[in-house]
Structure 1
Amino acid sequence: MMKNCFLSLLVLAGLSASAQNPVKPTMSGFGAAQPQPFLFQVNTLTDATASWSLNYSGSYGERTSSPFGYDGVDQQLALKGYLGDRFTLYANAALGFARSGGVTGAQQAEVLRDVIGGKKLFGPRIGVGVGFSHDFANTSAIFSRITASYDVAKWRIGANLRFEKAFAAGRDDIDLITSVGFHHRIAGAFYAGAEAVGQDLEGFWESDEAEGGAKLLVGPSVNYAPASSRFGFSLCGGPVFHATRSTVVESGAIRDLGISDISNGFTVRGAITFNLHK
């Protein structure tokens, strides 16, 4: 019931957003104005960015467990919008379809606000946010996120630092996840670069880390947003390495790189963004 309500909220909010007055990015900065150019992090929006968008993404993983580094295929639908006064809303719901035949779901939502910058498209921005999640093990959690980005006409860089507290026995006191991405404009609205993710970094100092230890991913990342289209396309993937290991059972937490598999693997994620305003 909770999952159905969450999905309905996403759809209704998207329809409501599409009826608002559009906020148009300048053509010269359209590529940099993509509402969600990176696959493994969340960026804040500005007055100059397309104000509401729907994002569909899917992942495929080998020798990883749990979406979004699923050992199989996962599907995710997200809504992202600019609320005004430098506030950004980001909410998503996901379904994972394992090769073994199991299906699981999770939801999360957060509100972020730029505290430095955020009034124009280009230049530095630093934001903070809070949110809640309901993961694949039916466990609720609260989290906070710090975002940082710097955008110019030819390149962009972004980073996230996320702190999470899950309300369940056997979970870590605090989970720490970080990500960073860089894109350079190759031609027109085509950007290419790399993304890196550090997951459950508390595994470096906690031998009994509840999600199997710290994991790392570094891989190529591309983003294409035609100026004449409402759509944007992103793709990123790479090998998943265990930086540390702990002997625990899978927790079901929402993780980009999977959780408890003892071997290294890989994850590939693609996304299609649809701007509700153009």
Structure 2
Amino acid sequence: MKKRVFMLLMAAMTGLIAMAQDLEAPGQVTTLEDVNRTPEPFMYSVTTLTSQDLKWSMHYAGSYGQNVEGPFGYEGVSQQIAVKGYLGNRLTLLANASLGIPNEGGNVTSAQQVEVIRDLIGGKRLMGLRIGLGLGVSNDFSNAKSLLSRLTLAYDMPYLKLSGNALFEHTFLKGRDPLDVIINLGAQYCVAGNLYAGLEAVGQDLEGFWETDEAEGGAKMLVGPSLSLAPKKSRLSFSLCGGPEIRATHSQMTNPYAIRELPVQSGFVVMGSVIFNLQGS
């Protein structure tokens, strides 16, 4: 199964690269006007919008995960619809709903999440540094309600995209940690026209590095290749990421209600998205 998932990831990446074959060389992308922007180049990091962005978009994401759950992906097939928009005054709204189909049968489940993020540093221009802080709420696949706080960092140039998030989550469910910490990092470089390639990394339940009784079994990490493409004269853009999940630390505690509880063996996830700019390119 892992071999088939790996081949699917390679095929999808090859397809995106093939779509970009007729784009101009990367050295020609030097100004904002040369860039056909995508509202979200990364699969795991959340980036804020500016008044120079395409302000409202609809996102469809699909993933397949084996021995993974939580921020890495759903254990099975997941379908997600999201809306992202610029509210003005350096405020970004992100709302999504997901449908999860288990690998081993069982009931189909759903999850919802809403966040509002404000850039505190930067955010008036697309290029350069932006640092934001946001609040949100979520209801995960196990029907656990959580309060979210997210710190975002982004640095954008026409040829380079950097993103980082620190997500703090308090779940209102007995037996869960008082505070869960999730770190997302992403970097992409222009390789041809509007095709960007790089890496994304996710660190989940990082409190497991200093808490021996971390409630979800310890810290987990994922690192994998990342691609984004925004074809010119199109409202559509595409993102793709995938990779292995590994356990960084081990805790003797487990929680059958925590969506982030992972089996001891490493897992694998592939996630891709199609984004439609609602107001045109």
Matches within 5 A, 1:34-49: 34-49=38-53
What SS class does the counterpart of residue 203 from structure 1 fall into?
A: helix
What SS class does the counterpart of residue 136 from structure 2 fall into?
A: strand
**What is the alpha-carbon distance in structure 2 between the residues aligned to residue 97 and residue 239 of structure 1?**
20
Give the TM-score of the pair, scaled to structure 2. 0.85
**What is the alpha-carbon distance in structure 2 between the residues aligned to residue 133 and residue 169 of structure 1?**
16
**What is the alpha-carbon distance in structure 2 between the residues aligned to residue 194 and residue 223 of structure 1?**
11
Higher mean alpha-carbon deviation, 221-230 vs 203-212, is at 203-212
Q: Does the 8 A contact of 1:212 with 1:250 survive in 2?
A: no
Matches within 5 A, 1:180-195: 180-195=185-200
Q: CA deviation at 1:241?
A: 0.5
Matches within 5 A, 1:1-278: 27-30=33-36, 33-65=37-69, 69-102=73-106, 103-246=108-251, 247-253=253-259, 258-278=260-280
Q: CA deviation at 1:67?
A: 7.2
What SS class does the counterpart of residue 263 from structure 1 fall into?
A: coil
Q: CA deviation at 1:211?
A: 2.1
Q: Does the 8 A contact of 1:176 with 1:202 survive in 2?
A: yes
How many aligned positions are there? 248
What SS class does the counterpart of residue 202 from structure 1 fall into?
A: helix
**What is the alpha-carbon distance in structure 2 between the residues aligned to residue 176 and residue 68 of structure 1?**
14
Q: CA deviation at 1:245?
A: 1.8
Q: CA deviation at 1:68?
A: 5.3
Q: What CA deviation, in whole Å up to 9, does each residue of 1:192-211 have, x standing for no partner? A: 00000100101112222222
Higher mean alpha-carbon deviation, 199-208 vs 144-153, is at 199-208
Q: CA deviation at 1:251?
A: 2.7
Q: CA deviation at 1:179?
A: 0.8
Question: Match of 2:102, as an amino acid?
Answer: A
Q: Does the 8 A contact of 1:67 with 1:96 survive in 2?
A: no
Q: CA deviation at 1:95?
A: 0.8
Q: What CA deviation, in whole Å up to 9, does each residue of 1:137-196 have, x standing for no partner? A: 222110100000110111110100011111111010100000110010111110000000
**What is the alpha-carbon distance in structure 1 between the residues aligned to residue 72 and residue 62 of structure 2?**
8
Percent of aligned positions with the same letter in both sequences?
Answer: 52
4+ aligned runs moved over 3 Å, structure 1: 65-68
**What is the alpha-carbon distance in structure 1 between the residues aligned to residue 89 and residue 137 of structure 2?**
22
**What is the alpha-carbon distance in structure 2 between the residues aligned to residue 65 and residue 124 of structure 1?**
32
